[in-house]
């Protein structure tokens, strides 16, 4: 299956299309709440989100970007990722103009002053750098998605390393927050790290969130 979201990027499913992947596409694209609102609300219950964390992660791997290089990049501030020094911010946000719940980031996987290792592998990036890249990307995405008048904390973290990340080459991070329509509950923030067309790392954070009333 290949569908287009306002021509900016394509959603390609290598596996056979089913109800879950269809609703995932509607959620990502922000489309079809008029005709599928009830199905989407049922899809976004805490129970369904938590039970299908791995499936959300697998579906996000199937989202392919046509060419992120054509979109402008915006600096992420140190405050957004809870740092004291701007030099420790490892990501830029990629501003895609299309309507989507996805966020996109470009990261320099070793540009930080706070992580020091006594030996660096010449061929690939160590996991500790990639973990910090994903943490920063998800933090910015979730804060923007939930709004300033909200709180959340992480209760579970999962990462699956698939391919090595080459040193001194940028990576792209796709991030998707998945929460229901209630003011409080459990949700996930799913992420995929690409280098070129290669999926290098996938994972998610499970969180408990509260949106205060003036944001509802």
- Does position 105 have pLDDT exceeding 90, yes or no? yes
Nearest to 27 by CA among 42, 15, 13, 47: 42
CATH number, domain of 172, equals 3.10.129.10
Using one digit for the tens of pLDDT, what is the confidence trace for 115-156? Answer: 777 677 677 888 888 999 999 999 999 999 998 888 999 999
Per-residue pLDDT tens digits for 48-96: 999 999 999 999 988 877 678 788 899 999 999 999 999 999 999 999 8
- Number of structural domains (the chain) is 1
Question: C-alpha distances in angstroms, 145 versus 113, 169, 203?
Answer: 28, 29, 18
Structural domain for 56, as ranges: 2-215
Residues 189 and 139: beta-carbon distance below 8 Å = no
- Do residues 41 and 92 lie in contact, with contact meaning Cβ atoms separated by under 8 Å? no
């Amino acid at each position: 299956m290949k569908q287009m979201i306002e021509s900016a990027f394509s959603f390609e499913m290598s596996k056979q299309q089913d109800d879950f992947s269809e609703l995932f596409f509607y959620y990502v694209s922000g489309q079809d709440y008029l005709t599928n609102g009830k199905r989407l609300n049922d899809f976004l219950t805490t129970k369904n989100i938590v039970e299908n964390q791995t499936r959300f992660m697998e579906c996000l791997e199937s989202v392919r970007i046509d060419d992120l290089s054509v979109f402008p990049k915006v600096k992420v501030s140190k405050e957004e990722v809870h740092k004291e020094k701007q030099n420790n911010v490892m990501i830029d946000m990629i501003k895609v103009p299309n309507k989507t719940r996805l966020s996109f980031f470009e990261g320099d996987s070793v540009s930080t002053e706070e992580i020091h290792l006594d030996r660096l592998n010449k061929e690939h990036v160590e996991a500790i750098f990639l973990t910090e890249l994903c943490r920063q990307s998800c933090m910015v995405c979730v804060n923007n998605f939930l709004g300033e008048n909200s709180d959340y904390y992480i209760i579970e973290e999962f990462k699956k390393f698939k391919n090595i990340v080459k040193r001194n080459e940028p990576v792209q991070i796709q991030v998707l927050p998945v929460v229901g329509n209630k003011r409080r509950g459990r949700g996930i923030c799913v992420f995929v790290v690409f280098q070129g067309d290669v999926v290098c790392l996938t994972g998610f954070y499970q969180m408990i969130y509260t949106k205060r009333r003036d944001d509802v």
